[in-house]
Each structure stands twice: as C-alpha cells, then as structure tokens.
Homo-oligomer: A and B are copies of this chain.
C-alpha cells in the first residue's frame, strides 16, 4: 500500500493570462488531497472517493481503457474525477514499467471541487505518485509534475496550464511562464478563502476570455497588463511587502472582472473580505463561481465571509511549503 498527498493552490496573480504565455504566480495552500493505492490480484480498478465536496462515490472500472463506470452521481463530475484518475493510473503504470495489475484506490480531499483551488491537479499528482510507488517505481518530482500536466492537458482538451500541477507537486510559491516553472520560495502568507458553493465552467470561461482578446485590442492589452502586474507581484513577494501584494491582488481582480470571469457572488465575497480588513482579495482560478482568496491574518475576515450572503463556506488556508508528500 502507498499513500501520497498533494496540496491545492490559489492564484496570487495571473490566472487566464497564463494561457497566453504571460507569467502567473500560484501558491500551494494547506488543503490537501490524499490517495491510497493498493495493488489487486486482478486487473480491475476500484475507486472510492470521499469528501470531494460531493457525495462520496465508489466506482469499479477497468482502468486505463476508457470504460465508463455506472454510479449515481452527476455524470460530469464522475467523468472528470475518473478521467483524471484514469490518466494518472496510465502514466503511473508506464513509469513502473508497464504493469497491467488492478488497483484499489481511495481518494480523500479537503479541496472543494471545481472551485479554482486545483483539486483535480492535487488528486492527479497524488494518484500518479501513489500508484507508481505501489507498482515499485519512485519517480522524481519533476517527472510527476510533467506527467500530471499531461493528464490535465488531455482531460481538459489542451486548455490546461502547468500552474496547478507544478504548484501542487512542489509546494510553496511558484512562478509559471509557458513551460518555464520555478519555485520562488515559501514565505509565510496567511489566506482566508470564501467559497460560494458553485463551480465555474472552466472551458467556457477560457473561451470567453479568448473571444474578447481576439475581438478587442484593449482586451489583448488587459491580458498583457495582468502579465506586467505579475512581475510587480514577484518583486513584492521577494520584498515581503504583503500590503503591496494585497493592492496588486485587488487590481488583478478588476482586470479579471473586465475580462468577464467574475460574478455577483465572487464580487460580493471579495468586498466582504476587503471591508473586513483584508489587505487584498480576488477570485482565484477560472472564475464564474467557486472561490475567492483574501490575504489577511485577521479572523474577522473569515467571520465576515461566513456572514456574506454569497458565501457557503470560509476556510483559513495558509501557504504551505509541502507539495507532493509520501505518507
């Protein structure tokens, strides 16, 4: 039996613009997904998922061959979860020299699904590692990060960035620019997250930004402005200037709103956090619905979010230096 865990992430800066080659700075947070892998005697895969912010489900299918399991949860979520796990198993088998053995997989996660916190990347990273180790391999982190990116890219039809998978594998603050991924460090940054209970449609949101950027020169300039903001954010992080990081988060949120990816609930939570004293607040991830991230060490921000009409749950989630972890 092998158990691996990997963290979720928030974007401090740069989501969406990263799709067009601009830099982005995500960082890992201490909400984690854990995957336990146990080899079976047959070649079946049995997957049990718990706490994925949806009803737990158990599915049994022949991993690695595109089977559709038959379970009573929304198709789109099962399809996504199974897609990531299926891809992870395939890559792990390859890393382990091509075994066809079956698996018992259990996934537990603190990370709300589809909320912009990189739950799928965390599950994918942890699953590749746990399965590869269960089959006797011990791939290094760079390899895991790259394989996990390939899985996301395949499930998301090429729209994935390396941000989520690299960040989840390495932990801490990372900088992504195209295929150039670097770890910047592990400063002590306290976050509060607000979650509206919903999930944005990443494909549709990415397509919306692309359409604006293709149509309007000023939308093109807006995407570039995000990239410039990220450079400034990197400096502020290096200087430990959290007030500046917060100001830049606020600005980044406005640019994302201009690009059409905010929503009434996300804006409401952002203002609740700012009005309660957060240094800065922005949506994180694809937007539409999901989470906002507020930079603050004040418990009153969490309370304010819990009282905001749009907020279903609020979490304290510090930056974590721990990426992929073998438990």
Contacts and interface: CB of A to CB of B under 8 A. Distances in A.
A257 interface: yes
Contact of A268 (B226, B268, B275): B268
23 contacts: A212-B251, A216-B229, A216-B251, A217-B228, A218-B232, A221-B221, A221-B228, A222-B222, A222-B255, A225-B225, A251-B258, A251-B259, A251-B260, A254-B254, A254-B255, A254-B257, A254-B258, A257-B258, A264-B268, A264-B271, A264-B275, A267-B268, A268-B268
A172 to B, nearest CB: 25
The copy count of this chain in the complex is 2
Given A218-B224, A264-B268, 19 more contacts: A216-B229, A216-B232, A218-B225, A218-B229, A218-B251, A221-B224, A221-B225, A222-B222, A222-B225, A225-B225, A251-B258, A254-B255, A254-B256, A254-B260, A254-B262, A255-B258, A257-B258, A267-B271, A268-B268
A250 interface: yes
Contacts of A271: 263-264, 267
A278 B251 CA distance: 25
Contacts of A262: 254
Chain A residues touching B, majority SS? helix
A272 B310 CA distance: 13
Contacts of A275: 264
A219 interface: yes
A267 B272 CA distance: 12
